Amino acid sequence: MILYCDTSSLVKLYIDETYSVDVRSWVRGADMIATSRVALPEMVSALTRRCNNRDLDRQLYELLLQSVRSDWQHILALDVDEQLAADLAQRHGLRGYDSVHLASALRLSGRQHISMQFSAFDEHLVRAAATEGLSVMQ
């Protein structure tokens, strides 16, 4: 099974948050992790904001960045269909990068012989994914 993780899910692999234990378990059970290419800059941005806000100390921040960049080579990073993302943003009222994640996941799920689960922690995005027919991890 391929587990598609949006950035809110991926962050939980590195930072202890609510549902981090669940995401880590789902990742261990997956054959592969997939996400959109936008997730890497989103992850770096999220970690940098936490460091700048002093929620992470500098040493931990540097270690987490190193881990994220190292782990990235093991993640299936998907391109985006920007027209589909725009349609999804309009249809569901999604934020820009949420529509990019959903478009990437939909393109992946449309491939033959793919078993995929979708993971996100934005209720609006999760509802949109379910409406679009994706199997959502809960």
Q: Is the pLDDT of residue 90 over 90?
A: yes
Hunting for tokens 């991890």 — which residue is that? 137
**pLDDT band at 113; cut points 50, 70, 90:** confident
Q: Is the pLDDT of residue 91 over 90?
A: yes
pLDDT at 112: 80
pLDDT at 46: 96
Q: Please, which residues have CB within 8 angstroms of residue 92's CB and are 6 or more apart in sequence? A: 99, 102, 124, 127, 128, 131
pLDDT at 108: 96
9-66: per-residue pLDDT in tens? 999 999 999 999 999 999 999 999 999 999 999 999 999 999 999 999 999 999 999 9
- DSSP, res 91: H
Q: Please, which residues have CB within 8 angstroms of residue 23's CB and are 6 or more apart in sequence? A: 5, 9, 12, 13, 119
**pLDDT band at 118; cut points 50, 70, 90:** very high
Homologous superfamily (CATH) for 2-42+71-131: 5'-nuclease (3.40.50.1010)
pLDDT at 56: 95
Q: Is the pLDDT of residue 114 over 90?
A: no
Q: Taking residues 74-89, what's their average pLDDT? A: 97
